[in-house]
Amino acid sequence: MKNDTLLLFLLLFSFTLNAQNNNYVGIYEKKIKSVKNEVFEYELQILSDSTFTFHFFRNLGQSISKDENVYGKGTWKVIKNVIHFVTNANDLDEKHILNFTNSSGRFDGKNKNQFRFYHSEIPWIEKLTLQKVK
């Protein structure tokens, strides 16, 4: 009987934790096009397996400039309604060069479809606000 109660408690705890994490799962984007035809696009995918991917695209709108793509990936966890991102050494490669360790963010208090990084060691990520699209 004692084991059944413990098992039930663990299942309920696991289900609740998983359901809370699913609130964060989705694709978040920001797209900017300037009057000079400069394009900046940010995409963060928060996945249900506690991993994430990030893509930054930039085109400065000049015929001689190339498109720039920068990627990052890693794992995430929620502590007190704050998402904490970690990039381990095995997440870094020739393509995925951004290290999100010590980056964190949360949903905007007024708009639950907006995610804001409020701390990052990547200077242009800090204070970045993204809109949930999926």
Question: What's residue 12's pLDDT?
Answer: 42
User: pLDDT tens digits, residue range 2-49?
Assistant: 555 544 444 444 444 444 467 899 999 999 998 888 899 999 999 999
More confident position, 92 or 9: 92
Q: How far apart are CA 83 and CA 24, in angstroms?
A: 8
Mean pLDDT of 116-127: 96
* pLDDT: which is higher, 64 or 124: 124
Averaged pLDDT score across all residues of the chain: 86
Give the predicted TM-score (pTM) of the model: 0.81
Give exposure, 47-66, as e/b (b: 16+ Cβ within 10 Å).
Answer: eeeeebbbbbebbeeeeeee
- 3-state secondary structure string across 50-66: CEEEEEEEEECCCCCCC
